[in-house]
Amino acid sequence: MVSLRRYVVPVLFTATMFTTLVGLGSWQIERWGAKQRLVARVAERITAAPVPAPLRAAWPDLRGKNDEYRRVVVTGRFLHDKETYLYTSWAPEGRDAVQGWSIFTPMETADGIVLVDRGFVPEQKRDPASRPESLVSGRAEVTGLLRLPERRSAFGVADNPGKREFFVRDPKAMAAAVGLAEVAPYVVAADATPVPGGWPKGGNTRVKFPDNHLQYAITWFTLAIAVLALFAVWVRRARKDADSGAGADIAAGA
């Protein structure tokens, strides 16, 4: 007869591993569903007709789920002498990515200052003097996507406000670097409408999101099944060994 005591530890270990793996798989399924809803929400927003950028009264209530990637239009006067620069890359279709900077220019509107991400320039076009045609004067209108501030990583590169160089999209910090006390808590990332002179190049907002959650879920569920299969194999061998031992005892007693 097989002693049940020898099964206690393997059963507890198997139950713990199975429960953990199924839990991880279920969590990935939940994240997959959330990612699908995000993709659908963004796809709807970036193709919708543009609406006026949020006014000052609405600034405190802006939230990523409700407002990120909304297509908006903002009108005002650019303050070109207060440009700041966000380190980034640009990958034209069919070509390798180029490192450079996104040009963030404050726009003075009737309701306050809004930062506009006008688009990408390579290093040699960062100096405004190298692209004088882009320094449009007078009233300007920009259509683009509303972007909220990025989260800073603990391991990210530190900004250099003295040189107006930034590595995270942070309108408040960018404004402070050029002496602006208050700006909208969002950025308008300009669409691909051509700029005089060709630079900066807008329309670079990435709207494709990595989505490996279903693959991860399948992996975790497969491992959970494998744990049960290994336990079944172990039980079969344990019974076989127990039966062999019992048979030997009977033979010895005879």
The domains of the chain are located at 10-38+211-253, 70-190
Q: Distance of alpha carbon 243 from its chain centroid, rounded?
A: 58
The owner of tokens 């603990």 is 154
pLDDT in tens, 131-162: 999 999 999 999 999 999 998 888 888 999 99
Task: Give which of 82, 118, 81 is closest to 100, Cα–Cα.
Answer: 118
Q: Which residues pair with 65 in a beta bridge?
A: none
pLDDT in tens, 70-110: 999 999 999 999 999 999 988 777 677 889 999 999 999 99
pLDDT at 140: 97
Q: What angle do CA 57, 169, 138 make, to 5 degrees?
A: 65
> Mean of the pLDDT values across residues 119-133?
95
Q: Distance of alpha carbon 149 from its chain centroid, rounded?
A: 12
> Mean of the pLDDT values across residues 204-209?
82
Q: Calculate the CA dihedral of residues 170, 172, 174, 175 and round it to 10 degrees.
A: 160
Q: Cα(first)–Cα(last) distance of the chain, in Å?
A: 18
